[in-house]
Amino acid sequence: MKKTNIEIALSQDLEPITDIAEKVGLNRDEIYLYGDHIAKIKLSAREGREATARTVLVTAMTPTRAGEGKTTCAIGLNDGLNRIGKRSIVALREPSLGPVFGMKGGAAGGGFSQVLPMVDINLHFTGDMHAVTSAHNLLAALLDNEYSRPRGAFLLPKNVIWNRVIDMNDRALRSIVLGLGKAAGQVREGMFEITAASEIMAVLGLSRDLDNLKARLGNLIVAKSSNGDPVRARDIEAQGAMAILLRNALKPNLVQTIEGNPAIVHTGPFANIAHGTTSIVAVDMARRLADIVVVEAGFGSDLGAEKYFNLVSRRPGMVPPDVVVIVATLRGLRHQGGVSPKEVDDPERRGGGRRGWTTSANTWRT
Amino acid sequence: MKKTNIEIALSQDLEPITDIAEKVGLNRDEIYLYGDHIAKIKLSAREGREATARTVLVTAMTPTRAGEGKTTCAIGLNDGLNRIGKRSIVALREPSLGPVFGMKGGAAGGGFSQVLPMVDINLHFTGDMHAVTSAHNLLAALLDNEYSRPRGAFLLPKNVIWNRVIDMNDRALRSIVLGLGKAAGQVREGMFEITAASEIMAVLGLSRDLDNLKARLGNLIVAKSSNGDPVRARDIEAQGAMAILLRNALKPNLVQTIEGNPAIVHTGPFANIAHGTTSIVAVDMARRLADIVVVEAGFGSDLGAEKYFNLVSRRPGMVPPDVVVIVATLRGLRHQGGVSPKEVDDPERRGGGRRGWTTSANTWRT
Amino acid sequence: MKKTNIEIALSQDLEPITDIAEKVGLNRDEIYLYGDHIAKIKLSAREGREATARTVLVTAMTPTRAGEGKTTCAIGLNDGLNRIGKRSIVALREPSLGPVFGMKGGAAGGGFSQVLPMVDINLHFTGDMHAVTSAHNLLAALLDNEYSRPRGAFLLPKNVIWNRVIDMNDRALRSIVLGLGKAAGQVREGMFEITAASEIMAVLGLSRDLDNLKARLGNLIVAKSSNGDPVRARDIEAQGAMAILLRNALKPNLVQTIEGNPAIVHTGPFANIAHGTTSIVAVDMARRLADIVVVEAGFGSDLGAEKYFNLVSRRPGMVPPDVVVIVATLRGLRHQGGVSPKEVDDPERRGGGRRGWTTSANTWRT
Amino acid sequence: MKKTNIEIALSQDLEPITDIAEKVGLNRDEIYLYGDHIAKIKLSAREGREATARTVLVTAMTPTRAGEGKTTCAIGLNDGLNRIGKRSIVALREPSLGPVFGMKGGAAGGGFSQVLPMVDINLHFTGDMHAVTSAHNLLAALLDNEYSRPRGAFLLPKNVIWNRVIDMNDRALRSIVLGLGKAAGQVREGMFEITAASEIMAVLGLSRDLDNLKARLGNLIVAKSSNGDPVRARDIEAQGAMAILLRNALKPNLVQTIEGNPAIVHTGPFANIAHGTTSIVAVDMARRLADIVVVEAGFGSDLGAEKYFNLVSRRPGMVPPDVVVIVATLRGLRHQGGVSPKEVDDPERRGGGRRGWTTSANTWRT
């Protein structure tokens, strides 16, 4: 009988994460442990190591709703490269807690191409998602707090554009009215988005270091003032406290594949609203620790891969991929050929008159 | 010039948490590391160790709003006991992130009576607060999800009593309307409480082990059905997923005092709405690892201490305190004697006609 | 078998209202007809007639919730005075549509002391209530419309104090959130009060003529500006349109009692929040058309009568009452003596230890 | 200098409405007066009179937003027919108070083709709009009241489809949340529509008599029950009270044109959501009192005229029009030919490539 992903994951013997760190040349004092099988790599580990690794970008044809296996393929490719003696690291995004309890399951691969410890990675992991949630909501709370100050008197509630986030598929929070009652600023409509969709997640994934992160946080636009100018996080002096909340979340997380090869799993931006790959800190770190880095880009090539080429790889110190792997499946081909989503697993179906089925872009908003 | 608490905290050299663990007889494989200075103690460490330590309960006269120094006193007492050669552990509650950014500051002690690493403990620590937040809000989301099922058709929105929580002082979320729009269940009034006020925080602090926690989670009352009967978390099969989210949060956290003595910091229930001391897992674990355990009870003796005597110490395996320390300050005495809160630091003030000033019970709700 | 009020009312033959008008010396061109049995008296009818009539104020001891019969008594007194040959008019307030469909029934008297046509008076009558509703809500709409103008940019939603009204007991409108969605100004909490509780109802009852009404409407405070100054209706130029809506409502309504004697029924302010008697226009008009005017004052003597003495009768051209009738009932006496509301009709009950039962002041808010 | 509509209206000497009634053969006791220039015709006046008049339907090509003059044309046609000795009555809809204070102005014609007294007709008139408002909102209040009864326990708030109405352009009420607070049923989203858009307005316009009206009111669907069945007004026994509120509103109103010819102005359904002509009671009454009846149908011929042919004229006792007048203007032709709305008054503009401009259907929702 076929084992489930979680059964496979739980049946594996994991190597100590200190051993994995050692494989990629990291000393014990260059990492922070989070239990026995997860570590964060200190940013100072970049010093004295050149970012020289080749980059392999794993993308896909426009996928069906179920996904076509980019993560699985990237993990398997990394394991294969290691098996033939290459020093390779796979760099993936962190799964969001929300969808874990929703329909899509986790994002830690599947079958024998998983990163471990799967349950921890899928749940709280090293708290990065929680840190993004806290920083995002702190900014929201500080903004509402402005109503109790003189300068807040001119901030009309409908001009506030900064929402709140929660790492949960909680549909009842998608449209709310907040600030009711006597003591709580102004009443207004708002919403909770899912944490992975936070602009702070994007900012975290694109920052080089804590100073750069702090500057980007300060630039976040949170409202429109009455004269039409943007109000930014730095206008309410929020970036410092936010950066403190995010200082550990900026450090990439080291885990292992089922075959005991190194994997960096860091930040979780969606490709439809952000860049859709792991952080530049993660890719850059991996490129300093290995000869080959396998990076997965979200959704189809027109989303994650395009953004990787045009946006991520153009950041300072980043480079375009040396190789691109495009995952294509018979199911996806049938889907694009016009077969309805329900019938794509039937090898006899060949698509009909209705060409150009495209998936709705799997948007996750809490 | 007098140093601030954070300056004192950051100027200290910390011992590796593995050394602290060793001091209390814990092997390396009985703890999980969270960086170099924080560890979680595995619940299996209870096995083979008897809970024999004496318990010292630190409480206080009814405090002023600023607090009278119970935490500081408890930490100092623990350091003193260790200095005279006693094997003592101090058991404290975790601070809530919300008040950290509010007026009250953290809850990790002060001056040279602090637990360290102070910043980490005050911020994300080992993610226990985040886990409680996630478990609480998962239950809320699952409950709202019932409206899309047949049995939900009879759950009138005003009968739902389970709110949401956030670990933030966010006044705009104290009174909200949620579930607006087409796709989101029923509209209703709701609120976000601060995470420390979650009933799950209380449940977590009173549970012996994961099974006991799961049973308590299942008992949580979330709504009143249309015939007046309680609807419990187990009626919507939520307790399993919640327990998974809380499995690490149930393990007590080991840190150190400024003098390098062991401290267990675990769960953060408020004394006005819950039992107001650290978890029974923490106290029990400490009593197996030392000869004396110093436990702090929240608010005045009429709240935290009463609850410790009547509720916490009567749980299976727990015992009443052997010694009680009551913190009393001149400031507090002036306050109780009728001096207004603004003048309690003036030694010349002696209180007037208006007897019996009592503090409002410092209620923290987000 | 005892007839109900409505059966008695419907069984009566009514005199043409033109005949009633003639009795008090009004020509056909001094009135507007509203069907055959209701008329409005033109304000110009005051010209050439002196306000010389004596005034009888009918008030009561603090009543039970059911009322002690002030209206019935006032109507009966008027009928009696007419029967003995006095030229007397009774001046009453208009009933509110809201309570008509609620528990309290209409306010057109009872038994053989009714004003007729009872059904019309209790329902739309001459549209005065509707006019007050329209004027009140026009002001609210104009105020919200300010948000689309530059000066509105500084009007924080929580500073708006002008609510909306409806002539209906509609509890679901007592607490609402309005202004949701894209195109509708700012979101805020608001409420609908019952029309009789509108400040405009009070203003209408206290105005001498259209110019005076317009000036009073302009003075209405609708919001607090950001610097704390009051924002008035005239600041948004609303008083003109409101006065046009109210120009007919300012004219007193002429009807008849069951015995065919003249009755003026005009405006409906509550005594708990406003002056609680008919309009000064109505009393003044009656004093020009008769030798005696019987005026009813709402609630107990401490409310309506006090206000009549101290407020209404001091308006220009008004005089204090010459006679005061205080309605006292055995039921009311028992009630004040301490008998519970449910037992006040039992003649054997004499009240117990609990002295000083007072009614909650029957507040009607929609 | 050109006079405004209101200047023209106010400069006219009006004939007593009793004279107008006499012209169409109505006795004094077949009408109720509302002041000197407005009357309601008793439904009993239908008895003994045959509905034999020819019907002229005035419609228009698809109009610009400003309207193309259907009302003006219908009034003028009626005046012309009377001038050449025909016994003709024009039958129009009542204007809504909301748009009067909005941009569109009243609906009582213009220039020397007006119905009078214009100001009264545009404001409260005979209270028909207020009666529809009251009946509509009474049903809403009774429905919400169900939540305090056992059968209401199964009426999920999102299944309620009956909104509230107000005769006002009040954009802040277009989207609200109601039922907040402890005592007010269930919280839910709702809205206020403009009274003319009330389904009760349509029902009133299509009813033959009070019994027929009551039956139609009882049929109104107000909610969907939890098993998907419709909940109707009669299920909560609301139709009786509603019919009482509407009993006078069912009687057609008699006024006059500037030339002193008879006009019936009754009910105000919009053509985009309802039938868009005056009531069948009004048309039927006019057909019994004259030889020719000029009826105006709202919006373009594809709305009001189509509905008159297919819906209104097929009611029992009604007949299709004998003559149809289609109002077409150069402005409208330019508009349809592709000239932008801002340039349609320029005789040189001839329309360009963009064919088929159509007006948005002037939807009035409060």
Which pair of tokens denotes residue A2? 């076929």
Q: What is the pLDDT of residue B183?
A: 59
Stronger pLDDT, A170 or A3, i.e. the higher one: A170
The better pLDDT of the pair A43, D69 is held by: A43
State the Cα–Cα distance between residues A93 and A297, nearest whole angstrom.
9
The answer to whether A160 and A358 have CB atoms below 8 angstroms apart is no
* More confident position, D292 or B97: D292
Taking phi over 0 as left and psi of -120 to 50 as alpha, with beta for the rest, C343 belongs to alpha
The pTM (predicted TM-score) of the whole model is 0.85
- Return the pLDDT at B309: 96
Among the residue ranges B345-354, D191-200, D235-244, D331-340, the one predicted with the least confidence is B345-354
Percent of chain C, pLDDT > 70? 90
Tell me the pLDDT tens digit for each residue of B33-42: 999 999 999 9
CA B192 remoteness from chain centre = 18
Q: What percent of chain A has pLDDT over 70?
A: 90
Helix axes D199-206, D210-219, angle to 10 degrees: 150
For the segment C174-200, the average pLDDT, to the nearest whole number, is: 87
Average pLDDT over residues B141-168: 80
- Find out whether the peptide bond into A117 is cis, omega within 30 degrees of 0: yes
List of chain B residues whose C-beta atoms are within 8 Å of the C-beta of residue D150: none
Q: Are C336 and C357 in contact (CB under 8 A)?
A: yes
Distance CA(C348)–CA(B354), nearest Å, equals: 48
Q: What is the C-alpha to C-alpha distance for residues D281 and A280, in angstroms, rounded to an integer?
A: 76
pLDDT of residue C157: 80
Q: How many CB atoms lie within 10 A of CB C198?
A: 27
Task: Give pLDDT, residue A52.
Answer: 96
H/E stretch holding A251 reads none
Annotate D329-362 with DSSP letters as a single string.
-HHHHHHHTT--GGGTT-TT----S---------
- Whole-number pLDDT of residue D335: 82
* Sign of the dihedral defined by the CA atoms of residues D3, D7, D13, D18, in that order: positive
pLDDT higher than threshold 90 for residue D7: no
Q: Which residue has the higher pLDDT, A360 or C276?
A: C276
At residue D197 the predicted structure's pLDDT band, cuts being 50, 70 and 90, is: very high
**Residue C27: φ, ψ to 5°:** -75, 165
By the 8 A CB rule, do B82 and B88 touch? Answer: yes
For C35, which of D32, D101, D185 is closest by C-beta distance?
D32
- How far apart CA C331 and CA C339 sit, in angstroms, is 9
Task: Name the band, by pLDDT with cuts 50, 70 and 90, for residue C152.
Answer: low
For residue B200, what are its two tokens?
């799950």
Cα–Cα distance for residue pair B123/A130, rounded to 1 Å: 11
Task: Supply the pLDDT for residue D167.
Answer: 93
Question: Which residues on A lie below 8 Å from B170 (Cβ)?
Answer: 137, 140-141, 144, 164
- B226 and D189 in contact by Cβ < 8 A? no
Whether A131 sits inside 8 A of B124 (CB atoms) is: yes
User: Inter-chain contact C124–D245, Cβ cutoff 8 Å?
Assistant: yes
Q: Give the tens place of pLDDT for each residue, C14-61.
A: 999 999 999 999 999 999 999 999 999 999 999 999 999 999 999 999
ipTM value? 0.91
Q: Which amino acid type is present at position A133? A: T
More confidently predicted of A37 and D334: A37
Q: State whether residue D28 is helix, strand or coil.
A: helix
Residue A1: the pLDDT is: 62
* Euclidean distance between CA atoms B86 and B71, whole angstroms: 19
Mean pLDDT over B104-123 rounds to 82
C172 to chain A, closest Cα gap in Å: 17
Q: Span A53-79, mean pLDDT?
A: 90
Q: How confident is the model at residue A156 (pLDDT cuts 50, 70, 90)?
A: confident
Residue C75, classed as helix, strand or coil, is: helix
C185-189, C344-348, D158-162: which is most confident: D158-162
| Residue B162: exposure state from Cβ atoms within 10 A (0-12, 13-18, ≥19) | buried
pLDDT tier for residue B353 given thresholds of 50, 70 and 90: very low
B87 pLDDT above the threshold of 80: yes
* pLDDT value, residue A147: 77
* Nearest partner of B37 among B131, B128, B127, B118, judged by Cα: B118
Q: What is the pLDDT of residue B140?
A: 95
Tell me how many helices (H) and strands (E) chain C has.
Answer: 12, 16
Q: Are residues B156 and D186, on separate chains, in Cβ contact within 8 Å? A: yes
The predicted structure's pLDDT at residue D161: 92
Asked if pLDDT for residue B106 goes beyond 70, the answer is no
| A249 vs C67, more confident | A249
Q: Which tokens in the block code for residue D35?
A: 């002041």
Place of tokens 């409420």: C191
Q: How far is A205 from chain C (nearest CA, A)?
A: 33
Choose from A227-236, C70-79, C333-342, D337-346 the range with maximum mean pLDDT: C70-79
Q: How confident is the model at residue C98 (pLDDT cuts 50, 70, 90)?
A: low
End-to-end CA separation in angstroms for chain A? 35
- Summarize the confidence of residues D14-33 as an average pLDDT: 96
Contact C151, C184 (CB under 8 A): no
Contact A108, A4 (CB under 8 A): no
Contact yes or no for D186 and B154 at CB 8 A: no
| Closest to C313 in 3D by CA, of C77, C64, C59, C43 | C59
Report the candidate in C4, C3, C260 with the shortest Cα–Cα distance to residue C115.
C260
pLDDT in tens, A264-319: 999 999 888 899 999 999 999 999 999 999 999 988 899 999 999 999 999 999 99
Which residue of D153, D158, D180 is in closest CB contact with B186?
A: D158
Minimal C-alpha gap between B179 and chain D (Å): 9
Over 60: is that where the pLDDT of C300 sits? yes
Q: Which chain D residues have a beta carbon less than 8 Å from that of C128? A: none
Listed in sequence order, the residues at least 6 apart from A84 whose beta carbon sits closer than 8 Å to its beta carbon are none
pLDDT at B195: 94
| Predicted local distance difference test score (pLDDT) of residue D98 | 63
pLDDT of D357 strictly over 50: no
Q: pLDDT by residue (tens digit) across D19-28? A: 999 999 999 9
Q: Which two tokens stand for residue C24?
A: 């008090």
- Helix-strand-coil split of chain B, %, nearest 5: 40, 20, 45
Q: Are strands D292-296 and D54-60 parallel, antiparallel or unpaired?
A: parallel
The Cβ-side half-sphere exposure at B292, using a 13 Å CA radius, reads: 21
- Work out the average pLDDT over A328-352: 79
Q: What count of other Cβ atoms lies within 10 Å of the Cβ of residue D176?
A: 25
What is the rounded average pLDDT for all residues in chain D?
88
Percent residues over pLDDT 90 in chain A: 64
Residue D125 pLDDT exceeds 70: yes
Please give the average per-residue pLDDT across A2-26, as a whole number.
Answer: 90
- Angstrom distance (rounded) from CA B35 to CA B15: 12
Question: Best-predicted range by mean pLDDT among A151-160, B62-71, C294-303?
Answer: C294-303
Residues of chain A found within 8 Å of residue C189, distances taken between Cβ atoms: 180, 187
Element (H, E) at C194: strand C192-194
Does the beta carbon of B151 lie under 8 angstroms from any beta carbon of chain D? no
Pick from D49, D19, D39, D16: which is nearest to D291 by CA? D49
Average confidence (pLDDT) over C278-296:
98
> H or E element: which one contains D283?
helix D280-289
Interface contact C97, partner D, CB < 8 A = yes
Q: Do B186 and D226 touch (CB under 8 A)?
A: no
**What does the block give as tokens for D325?**
């007048």
What is the interface size between C and D, counted as CB pairs within 8 Å?
A: 137
Cβ of residue A130 closer than 8 Å to a chain B Cβ: yes
Whose CA is closest to B222, among B282, B296, B135?
A: B135
Beta carbons within 10 angstroms of residue D233's beta carbon: 24
* Cβ atoms B121, B115 nearer than 8 A: yes
Across chain B, the runs of DSSP E, i.e. the strands, are 31-33, 39-41, 54-60, 88-92, 109-110, 113-116, 164-166, 176-178, 188-190, 192-194, 221-224, 230-232, 253-257, 262-265, 292-296, 323-327
Among A35-39, A238-242, B109-113, where is mean pLDDT lowest? B109-113
Q: Which of B11-25, C208-222, D4-18 has the lowest mean pLDDT?
A: D4-18
**Per-residue pLDDT for B156 more than 80?**
no
D320-356 pLDDT tens trace: 999 999 999 888 888 888 888 788 888 777 655 444 4
Residue C269: its pLDDT value, please? 92
Least confident of B255-259, C99-103, C121-125, D271-275: C99-103
In order, the DSSP letters of B286-346 are: HHHH-SEEEEEB-SSIIIIIHHHHHTGGGSTT----SEEEEE--HHHHHHHTT--GGGTT-
Query: For the segment D286-299, what is each residue's pLDDT rounded down to a tens digit?
Result: 999 999 999 999 88
Q: Could you give the angle at which helices B199-206 and B128-145 cross, rounded to 10 degrees?
A: 120
B288-307, pLDDT tens digit by residue? 999 999 999 988 899 999 99
**Which pLDDT score, from 0 to 100, does residue B100 have?**
59
